[in-house]
Structure 1
Amino acid sequence: MIGIGKAPCDNTLIQHAAPATPCPEGSKRWVLAAAIIGSSMAFIDGTVVNVALPAIQRDLHATAFQAQWVVESYALFLAALLLVGGSLGDHFGRRRVFAAGVALFALASAGCALATEVQHLIAARAVQGVGAALLVPGSLALISAAFPEKERGKAIGTWSGFSGITAAIGPVLGGWLVDHYSWIWAFLVNVPMALLVLGIVWRHVPESHGPDTSSPLDWPGAVLATLALGGIVYAFIEAPTQGWGAPLVAGALVLGLVAGAAFVAVERRSRAPMLPLGLFRLANFGAANLLTLLLYAALGGGLYFLPLNLIQVQGYSATVAGAALLPFILLMFLLSGWAGQLVDRFGPRLPLVIGPAIAGVGFALLALPGLQVNYWTGFLPGVLVLGFGMTVTVAPLTTTVMNAVGPELAGTASGVNNAVSRAAAVLAIAAFGVVMAWAFDARLAEGLQAVGATPETIGYLQARRSQLAGIELPPGTDATTAAQLRQVVQGAFVAGFRWIMGISAVLALLSALSAWWWIRRAGPPRS
Structure 2
Amino acid sequence: MSSRIETPVGSPISSPEERTYSRWAALAVLCAGTLMTVLDGNIVTVAMPAIQNDLGFSGPGLAWVVNAYLIPFGGLLLLVGRLGDLVGRRRMFAAGLVVFTLASVLCGVATSQGMLIAARALQGVGGAMTSAVVLGMLIALFPEPREQAKAIAVFSAVGAAGGALGVFLGGALTQALNWHWIFLINLPIGVVAWIAALRVLAPDRGAGLGKGADYPGAALVTGALMLTVYTIVGAGGRELGSTLLLAGVALALFVSFALRQARAERPLLRLRLFRSRLLTGANSVQILMIATMFGFQYIGALYLQRVLGYSELMTGTAFLPAPILIGVLMLGLSARTIGRFGPYRVLLTGLVLITAGMALLSRMPVDGSYVIDVLPPMLLLSAGFAAAMPAVTGLAMSGVREEDAGLASGLFNTTQVVGGSLGLAVLTTLAASRTDGLLGEGEPLVAATADGYRLAFTVGTGIAVAGLALAVAVLRAGSAPSTEADTETGAQAQAEEAEGRADAYS
Does residue 392 of structure 1 match 2:387? yes
Query: CA contact under 8 A between 1:73 and 1:126: conserved in structure 2?
Result: yes
User: Quick check: 143-152 or 208-217, which moved more?
Assistant: 143-152
**TM-superposed deviation, 1:34:** 4.5
Query: Which of 224, 230, 244 in structure 2 is aligned with 1:228?
Result: 224
In the other structure, the counterpart of 1:429 is 424
> 2:171 is matched with which residue?
175
> Structure 1, residues 369-428: CA drift from partner, whole Å, max 9, x if none?
233433111211110111122233223323333445677766654543333222211233
Residue type matched to 1:316 in 2? Y
Pick closer, same or farther for the CA change 1:101–1:351 going to 2, 3 Å. Answer: closer
Whether the 8 Å contact between 1:89 and 1:210 is mirrored in structure 2 is yes
User: What amino acid is aligned across from residue 463 of structure 2 in structure 1?
Assistant: L
Residue 10 (structure 1) aligns with: none
Kindly indicate whether residue 255 of structure 2 is the aligned counterpart of residue 261 of structure 1.
yes
User: Which residue identity does 1:496 align to in structure 2?
Assistant: G
Q: Per-residue deviation at 1:177?
A: 0.7
Return the offset for 1:17: 8.8
User: Is contact 1:221–1:267 with CA below 8 Å preserved after alignment?
Assistant: yes
Match of 2:335 in 1: 340
Aligned to 2:486: none
Give the match for residue 58 of structure 1. 53
Q: Quick check: 1:90–1:213 contact (8 Å CA) kept in 2? A: no
Identity %: 33
Q: Distance in 2 between matches of 1:135 and 1:283?
A: 27
Residues 346-361 of structure 1 correspond to what in structure 2 (within 5 A)? Answer: 346-361=341-356
Q: For 2:126 and 2:289, locate their aligned partners in 1 and report how far apart those are by CA, in whole Å.
A: 26
Q: Which amino acid aligns with 1:502?
A: T
Q: Which residue of 1 aligns with 2:483?
A: none
What amino acid maps onto 1:504 in structure 2? G
Q: Secondary structure at the match of 1:73?
A: helix
Secondary structure of the structure 1 residue equivalent to 2:220? helix
Give the deviation of 1:506 after TM superposition.
Answer: 0.5
Change in Cα spacing, 1:129 to 1:374, as seen in structure 2 (3 Å) is same
Specify whether residues 320 and 156 from structure 1 end up closer, same or farther in structure 2 by C-alpha distance, changes over 3 A only. Answer: same
Other structure's SS at 2:441 match: helix
Quick check: 1:307 aligned with 2:301?
yes
Is the aligned partner of 1:317 residue 2:311? yes
Q: Distance in 2 between matches of 1:515 and 1:323?
A: 33
Determine the C-alpha separation between the residues in 1 that align with 2:468 and 2:182: 36
Q: 2:278 aligned with 1:284, yes or no?
A: yes
Q: Does 1:132 align with 2:136?
A: no
In 2, the alpha carbon distance for the partners of 1:148 and 1:348 equals 17
Any idea what SS the aligned residue of 1:421 has? helix
**1:193 and 2:189 correspond:** yes
Mark the CA change 1:498 to 1:260 in structure 2 (over 3 Å): closer, same or farther. farther
**Per the alignment, do residues 432 and 231 of structure 1 end up closer, same or farther by CA in structure 2, a change over 3 Å counting?**
farther
Amino acid at match of 1:364: A
Question: Is structure 2 residue 78 aligned with structure 1 residue 86?
Answer: no
> SS at the partner of 1:115?
coil
**Counterpart in the other structure of 2:357:** 362
- For residues 288 and 157 of structure 1, do their structure 2 counterparts lie closer, same or farther at Cα, with a shift above 3 Å needed? closer
Question: Normalising to structure 1: TM-score of the pair?
Answer: 0.77
CA distance in 1, matches of 2:179, 2:249: 34
- What is aligned with 2:484? none
- Counterparts of 1:104 and 1:378 in 2: how far apart (Å)? 41
**Of 153-162 and 366-375, the range deviating more from structure 2:** 153-162
Q: Find the aligned partners of 1:275 and 1:435 in 2 and give their Cα distance.
A: 36
What is residue 489 of structure 2 aligned with on the other side? none
Q: 1:244 to 1:221 in 2, by over 3 A?
A: same
Name the residue aligned to 1:76: 71
Provide the C-alpha distance between the structure 1 equivalents of 2:154 and 2:34, rounded to a whole number of angstroms: 13
Map of 1:328-477 to 2, 5 A cutoff? Answer: 328-336=322-330, 337-404=332-399, 413-447=408-442
Q: How far off its partner does 1:279 sit?
A: 2.7
Contact 2:74 2:417 in 1 (8 A): yes
What displacement does 1:151 show? 12
Deviations 1:155-180 (CA, angstroms, capped at 9, x unpaired): 77876776677556443232211011
In the alignment, which residue of structure 2 is the partner of 1:184? 180
Q: How do 1:91-106 residues align onto structure 2 when only pairs under 5 Å count?
A: 91-106=86-101
The DSSP-based 3-state class of the residue aligned with 2:476 is: coil
Conserved 8 A contact 1:65-1:237: no
1:410-468 CA distance string (max 9 Å, x none): 66545433332222112332333432332122122112xx5xxxxxxxxxxxxxxxxxx
Stretch deviating more after TM superposition (402-411 or 77-86): 402-411
Alpha-carbon offset, residue 276 of structure 1? 3.6
Amino acid at match of 2:290: Y
Deviation at 1:31, TM superposition (A): 5.3
For 2:2 and 2:221, locate their aligned partners in 1 and report how far apart those are by CA, in whole Å. Answer: 24
1:495 maps to amino acid: D
**Structure-to-structure mapping, 1:134-173, within 5 angstroms:** 134-138=129-133, 166=162, 169-173=165-169
1:511 aligns with 2:489: no
Q: Distance in 1 between matches of 2:7 and 2:319?
A: 41
The alignment's C-alpha RMSD in Å is 3.6
Does the residue aligned with 1:379 lie in a helix, a strand or coil? helix
> What does the per-residue CA deviation read over 1:272-321, in whole Å, with 9 as the maximum and x for residues that have no partner?
55544323323333332221222222222342222222223322122232
1:209 counterpart SS class: coil
Q: Relative to 1, partners in 2 of residues 1:186 and 1:158: Cα closer, same or farther, differing over 3 Å?
A: same
How far residue 339 of structure 1 moved from its aligned partner, in angstroms, is 3.7
Distance in 2 between the 1:145 and 1:239 partners? 39
Deviation at 1:510, TM superposition (A): 0.9
Whole-angstrom distance in 1 between the partners of 2:344 and 2:201: 42
Contact 2:3/2:142 (<8 A) preserved? no
Stretch deviating more after TM superposition (339-348 or 278-287): 339-348
Deviations for 1:179-208, whole angstroms, at most 9, x for unmatched residues? 111111101111233233444556776643
- 2:457 maps to 501
Counterpart CA distance in 2 for 1:140 and 1:408 is 13
* Normalised TM-score (structure 2): 0.80
CA drift of 1:233 comes to 4.0
Task: Tell me if structure 1 keeps the 8 A contact 2:84–2:406.
Answer: no
In structure 1, list runs of 5 or more residues that go unmatched. Answer: 1-15, 451-487
List per-residue Cα deviations over 1:213-254 (Å, max 9, x = no partner).
5413344444333433433444454454442345xx565333
Number of aligned positions between the proteins:
471
1:33–1:389 CA distance, 2 compared to 1 (3 A): closer
